[in-house]
Each structure stands twice: as structure tokens, then as C-alpha cells.
Copies of this chain bind each other. A is one copy, B any other.
Amino acid sequence: MKVCGMQSRERILAAAEEVFASKGLRGARVDEIAARAQINKRMLYHYFQSKEDLYTAVLKANFERALAATSQASKSKEDPREQAVEAIKTYFYFLARNPNYARLVSWEALEGGLYARRVLPPIWEEGLPRLKAILEDGMAKGVFRTDLDVRQVLTSVNTLCISYFTQKDILAILWQDDPTRPENLEKRLKHILDLVLRSILLIKG
């Protein structure tokens, strides 16, 4: 019985992404992935060598999607400040629209980054590359503080954005509210931008 629409390989990848994001590599079950993809478990091994191989493919696809979504951000703006705002905004909303991404990255980080590191060094190492360029440009142009530790700033921005989504279950309980509601997303983004801009701008506006 053939299921129409997406081809098998695509369906497997999509199902695997959901399950790996939800439970991590260790917690994910091949059976669950196969069931979700509506394929025979055997087919999974037709398209991928192993659970790990499939996981790696999912990671790779996600990193590439993230890179594609963020690499062009803010190219239209001229002012470093506006560019930084645009870059962070783009990243934040990419995470909001792709909830699997933040979780995959977080599981992977806790597991030591073995898989990401092994097969995806170029992508993984890029981490917010657009923002890095903007910061350096802004520092050169005298818009941003010149004593910025770019590493620290990048680490903080990444963390401030990503953790919001990986911790949403817990924030939901603490706040008794859904952190992913549009208003809450906006509030969070506003807070992050405020935090970051106050810290990097040379003269406070």
C-alpha cells in the first residue's frame, strides 16, 4: 500500500526529525519513526544505514536549513545596529517556526556534540556567522563598543534565543502561560534585543 504525497525517504526524515527532537538519539525508537513515517521498518534500513546514520542526516538537514534561513538576513540594511536587530530577529523567528531545531541542537550538545562534530564541522562551526560579521563591521564603524568580546556576545545571543525554546515546557509551568504564544514571543524577542543592544551600542539611544 503506497502512501502518496511525500516520498518514503522524505517521510522517514520528517518522522525521524520529530522523534529525535522529542526524545533525543537515545530515547528515539526506530519503530516509532517507522510507524510515524507509515513505512515498514525495513525500508528505513534501505535508505539509511543505521539509526545513527539517520540521525546524522536529520542533523545535517537541520543545520543546512538554519544556515539558509539566517545567512541572508539583514543584507538589505546598512546600519550595523539595524542589521544586528534583523539578524537576531531572523534567528529567533527561525527557531520559533522550527521548534525541532533548538531541541536537536540541545540534545546533541548534552551528548557531547559527537555526531554534529563528526560529520558537520563546517556548518556547526559557523554558528551565527552573519551576526559575527555584523558585530565586527559595527565595531570598525564606531557604532558598537570596541571592547566587545565577540565570542561572548555570540554565545549569549545564541543561548538567549535557543534556551527559550528548549525550556518552554518548564516556563509554561512556571508562568502558567504558553511561552510560544505570539505575544510572548514578541516580549521575549524585545527583551533579548534590549539586553543585547544596550550592551553592544557605543552610545545608548
- Which chain A residues have a beta carbon within 8 Å of chain B's beta carbons? 23-24, 26-27, 103, 106-107, 109-113, 116-117, 124-125, 127, 149, 151-153, 155-156, 159-160, 162-164, 166-167, 169-171, 173-175, 187-188, 191-192, 194-196, 198-199, 204
A29 to chain B, nearest CB (A): 11
- Give 17 CB contacts A-B under 8 Å: A24-B24, A107-B110, A109-B170, A112-B169, A117-B173, A124-B170, A152-B188, A155-B163, A155-B164, A155-B171, A159-B159, A159-B160, A159-B164, A160-B160, A195-B195, A198-B198, A199-B199
For A127, the closest partner residue in chain B by CB is: B174
For A153, the closest partner residue in chain B by CB is: B191
Please measure, in the bound complex, the distance between the C-alpha atom of A76 and the C-alpha atom of B143, giving whole angstroms.
39
Q: How many copies does the complex hold?
A: 4
The listed residue with most B CB atoms (<10 A of its CB), out of A27, A106, A107, A152, is A152
Please measure, in the bound complex, the distance between the C-alpha atom of A175 and the C-alpha atom of B167, giving whole angstroms.
26
Q: A167 with B198: in contact, given A187-B152, A191-B152 (CB under 8 Å)?
A: no
